[in-house]
Amino acid sequence: KYKPVARKVKPVLGTSPEEFRIERHIIGDPLADMPQLSTNPPEFTPTGRYTAECKEIIDQAHDDDFLWPEEKKLVHHLMMLQNEAFAWDDLQRGRLKEKYFSPVVMPVIPHTPWVLKNIPIAPGLQDKICKMIKQKIEAGVYEPSNSSYCSQWFTVLKKDGESLCIVHSLEPLNKMTIAHSGLPPATEEFFHSDDSILRGRHPHMGFEL
């Protein structure tokens, strides 16, 4: 169930200090050494991260006649050449290089740290959720902290009826954060924007905010 618009908590409007300015520092052409696609793609061979199991996932997502056989070979050729650009599990997820983008620091207004009691976890889900948290720590999504802040979080069931998704309630943070003039893409539209060309249904082929 989605939250009504009237209950949505928005960031604070204000002037962001200069030290919080987000800049990119891309020197040279990052695409200069990009491998070239062949007009006569070779047969599939497991390459790096793009294993036979991963190929099967792509084939299942394109089991209709939308792509011609040679086009499917070209897709596999692309993913073989760029195999490190795709993540098939949490540990393979990457992040932007700091030489291109400095770590983002969020500007906030003066406030007192909030400490909120978390929603209880159902005993039957504890082991599954603990495993998810450990995976996020190993992947670098979560980091240890000694901060006074304590926000609420909960899990929701994904569309497959089995997987869980951890959702963090960031309402207290929104109240204290100075709004940025830019907007991130609508994640659902962004994820499905290439559906008409190349479809991917693997849970790690998206991105995490």
Contact assessment for residue 9 and residue 174, using Cβ atoms and an 8 Å cutoff? yes
- Name the DSSP letter for residue 131: H
Query: Residue 131: pLDDT above 50?
Result: yes
Query: Residue 98: pLDDT above 90?
Result: no
Instruction: Give residue 122's identity as a one-letter amino acid code.
Output: A
In this prediction, residues 21-45 reach a mean pLDDT of 87
The residue that leads in pLDDT, 24 or 46, is: 46
Say what the pLDDT of residue 188 is: 58
DSSP string, 137-153: HHTTSS-----S-B--E
Q: Two tokens at 93?
A: 């997820």
Domain ranges of the chain: 39-88, 100-201
Q: Where are the beta strands (DSSP E) in the chain?
A: 153-157, 164-168
Say what the pLDDT of residue 47 is: 95
Assigned CATH topology for domain 100-201? HIV Type 1 Reverse Transcriptase; Chain A, domain 1 (3.10.10)
How many residues in total does the chain contain?
209
Give the percent of the chain with pLDDT over 90: 44
Say what the pLDDT of residue 206 is: 46
Residue 163: CB partners within 8 Å, gap ≥ 6?
Answer: 157, 203
Q: What are the Cα distances from residue 28, in Å, to 32, 33, 84, 121, 145? A: 8, 11, 21, 49, 36
Say what the pLDDT of residue 204 is: 53
In this prediction, residues 17-28 reach a mean pLDDT of 84
Say what the pLDDT of residue 75 is: 94
Query: Mean of the per-residue pLDDT values for the chain?
Result: 84
Contact assessment for residue 99 and residue 25, using Cβ atoms and an 8 Å cutoff? yes
Look at the pTM and tell me if it is higher than 0.75.
no
Q: Give counts: helices (H), strands (E), the chain.
A: 5, 2
In this prediction, residues 116-140 reach a mean pLDDT of 91
User: By three-state DSSP, how is residue 15 classified?
Assistant: coil
pLDDT tens, 136-180?
998 888 988 899 999 999 999 998 888 999 999 999 999 999 988
